[in-house]
Amino acid sequence: MAMTTCDVTIIGAGPYGLSAAAHLRTVKGLEVRVFGEPMSFWKHNMPVGMFLRSNWTATQIADPNYALTLEAYKTANGNHLSHPVPLDRFIQYGLWYQRQAAPDLDQRKIARVESHPNGFRLILEDGEVFNSRRVIIATGIRSFAWRPPEFEGLPPWLASHTSENRDLCRFAGKQVLVIGGGQSALESAALLREVGAEVEVVARTHRIHWLQGWTSRALHHQMGKFTSRLLYAPTDVGPAGISQLMARPELLRRLPRGIQDLLWKRSVRPAGARWLVNRLQNVSIRIGRSVVSVGPVGEQVKVRLDDGSERTVHHVLLGTGYHVDIAKYDFLGPELVRWIRRFNGYPCLTEGLEASVLGLHILGAPAAWSFGPLMQFVSGTHYASRSLVRFIAGRGATQVGDETTT
């Protein structure tokens, strides 16, 4: 029996995977299969009670006809949506989007992707095997959660990453030390305090950066809507002026690499939403400090800082972000990984977000080194999906064959 072959396989059913499916299914005659649990990272790796930091327009998952917006979701379901958007409502929005854009979603896990003369060979967790001329990886950042080296030896009940804690209620009545000065660390600290934990935040930064402060709102009011729109793109990534460049990756990537890196650092430095300030009034925040040693003490953990101070707590929560390294994708065959040109773990992508292995496309945060920090946010689905569909429709899915391994 001949092995089945499809044109495009999408691995991942979060915002990037679903948006890619919606766009690619507008290409006549293109067979697209989508695999993954819808909105899985948001459902299982984000804390209950979280709010999205991005503004309303930047929280929309891109679709080709602007028919699957947050406004359309509200109208269709009669749900009230506040701003900032609560996590549970955003998940519901994503699931609604999936039912419209990819109703035939296959939730089986892709166990392995390997090179094949006709593109790629994919093996499902239940043993089914099929070929695909193109593969789009849109599996998010779960694999990239970063733990500082000093915490590597600690068991999970003493130290864990923020992405490993869906329900923070288990820390009620406990002493918790939160490491980090960005949104994840700060919001987790607020949530911990609200469930009854005793919380302290330690951050290396010498200043906590707050977004959307009163001075920013006053300035926008004085400038007026027209001027504000000139300076700030709806994608909501980057400060005034730079925001417009971040929203146009095709222009950003033409700049010298050093300038790209400086703009990236300026646009996505660790920061917290202004609406967290009041919620953190009763939380101790130590800035300009770093951890020099940790070690278990009975059922607790002792942490020593670079100023010599020590504290013994029940748990350390690491809001230390993510370090992209596509070699950590457990479904990619090692031979295929070796063929992908990379820089510091990021794939080096070209037009259509295509890797050096032809026919392999990588969306979301791993695309940030090639297309800028916009790819780290939901608002990046607009550029990524349009770029992807232009490229594949222009080249034709069937043009990937023996050249895949060259």
Alpha-carbon distance of 396 to 86, in angstroms, equals: 40
Return the half-sphere exposure (C-beta side, CA atoms, 13 A cut-off) of residue 99: 8
Instruction: Based on the fold, state whether residues 310 and 165 are members of the same structural domain.
Output: yes
One domain, residues 251 and 396:
no
- For residue 47, the 8-state DSSP code is -
Taking residues 22-40, what's their average pLDDT?
Answer: 97
What the block records as the tokens of 375 is 């790819």
Show the tokens assigned to 34: 């989508």
pLDDT over threshold 90, residue 221: no
Q: Are 337 and 232 within one domain? A: no
- Count how many Cα atoms sit within 13 Å of the Cα of residue 103 in the half-sphere of its side chain: 2
What value does the CA radius of gyration of the chain take, rounded to a whole number of Å? 22
What is the rounded average pLDDT of the residues 331-349?
96
What is the DSSP secondary structure assignment for residue 170, as one 8-state letter?
G
- Does 108 share its domain with 136? yes
Into how many domains does the chain fold? 3
User: Is pLDDT of 151 > 90?
Assistant: yes
The four Cα atoms 356, 377, 185, 300 give a dihedral, to 10 degrees, of: -50
Q: Are residues 374 and 397 in the same domain?
A: yes
pLDDT, position 218: 42
Residues 156 and 296 in one domain: yes
Q: Mark 60-90 as b/e (b = at least 16 C-beta within 10 Å).
A: bbbbbeeebbbebbeeeeeeebeebbbbebb
pLDDT digits (tens, 9 = 90+) for 65-114: 999 999 999 999 988 888 899 999 999 999 999 999 999 999 999 999 99
Residue type, 400: V
Say which CATH number the domain at 394 has: 3.50.50.60
Q: Are 132 and 101 found together in one domain?
A: yes
Residues 188 and 200 in one domain: yes
Quick one: 189 and 260 in the same domain?
no
Same-domain check for residues 182 and 61: no
Q: What is the pLDDT of residues 274-324, one digit of tens each?
A: 999 999 999 999 999 999 999 999 999 999 999 999 999 999 999 999 999
Instruction: Give yes or no: residues 105 and 26 share one domain.
Output: yes
Q: How many whole angstroms separate alpha carbon 68 and alpha carbon 63?
A: 6
CA atoms within 13 A on the CB side of 215: 2
190 and 282 share a domain?
Answer: yes
What CA–CA distance (Å, rounded) separates 114 from 118?
Answer: 11
Which one, of 172, 185, 162, lies nearest residue 314 by Cα? Answer: 172
Average pLDDT in the 364-375 region? 97
Q: What is the pLDDT of residue 399?
A: 54
Could you list the residue range(s) of the whole structural domain that residue 101 is in?
5-144+323-405
Q: Tell me whether the omega of the peptide bond preceding residue 84 falls within 30 degrees of 0, making it cis.
A: yes
pLDDT at 133: 97
